Amino acid sequence: MNISARITNRQGEHTTTVRPNDRDHSLAIRPKPAGLDLRLKGGELLFLALATCYCNDIYREARKRKIEVVNVEVEVSGEFDGEGEPARTISYRASVDARAPREAIVDLMRHTDDVTEIQNTVRRGVPVVLSHCDAREV
């Protein structure tokens, strides 16, 4: 799957789009009251990505095991020290209600933690490269 994300932000105009495999999805992220910057920080969106990925993957992996999941809750937390510094800690908690024995649900949760793409991306420290700068004087 190829994924791209785009933010366009200028006074009076703000759009946020995610594009998995050439299908656009808009996200509503409001700008700050002054009209510039976003109300959400990148770290907040990173933590939301971790929670979303684990939640979605629980359902994916449960289908493979023929486990009916009825509720998933995921909470991600961590700490950033200062500007330009990476997160110091990231941890998450999950709760899954399913129609299966407790041991099977715990096994599903641990397996999902092993195969969740975003968690594995962060854990392995994939390089992030600024590939192009397009600066225009106005």
Is the pLDDT at 70 greater than 80, yes or no?
yes
Does residue 119 share a domain with residue 54?
Answer: yes
- The whole-number average pLDDT for the span 115-121 is 97
Same domain for 4 and 47, yes or no, is: no
Over residues 70-94, the mean pLDDT reads 95
Q: Where is pLDDT greater, at 72 or 35?
A: 72
**Residues 76 and 92: beta-carbon distance below 8 Å:** yes
Tell whether 120 is covered by a domain: yes
Do 5 and 69 reside in the same domain of the chain?
Answer: no
Residues 67 and 120 in one domain: yes
Give the domain range for residue 98: 41-124
- Work out the percent of the chain whose per-residue pLDDT is above 70: 99
Q: Closest by alpha carbon to 46, among 120, 128, 130, 118?
A: 118
On whether the CB atoms of residues 19 and 6 are closer than 8 A, the answer is yes
pLDDT at 110: 98
What is the pLDDT at residue 78?
96
Whether residue 69 sits in one domain with residue 10? no
CATH number of the domain where residue 115 is located = 3.30.300.20
Count up the domains in the chain and report the number. Answer: 2
pLDDT tens-digit profile of 11-57? 777 888 999 998 998 888 877 777 777 878 889 999 999 999 999 99
Is residue 20 assigned to a domain? yes
Q: Is residue 134 situated within a structural domain? A: no
What per-residue confidence (pLDDT) applies to 15? 87
Q: In sequence order, what are the residues at sequence separation of 6 or more whose Cβ sits closer than 8 angstroms to the Cβ of residue 54?
A: 74, 92, 94, 112, 113, 116, 118, 119
Which residues, 6 or more positions from 57, have their beta carbon under 8 angstroms from its beta carbon? 112, 115, 116, 117
Regarding whether 22 and 2 lie in a shared domain, the answer is yes
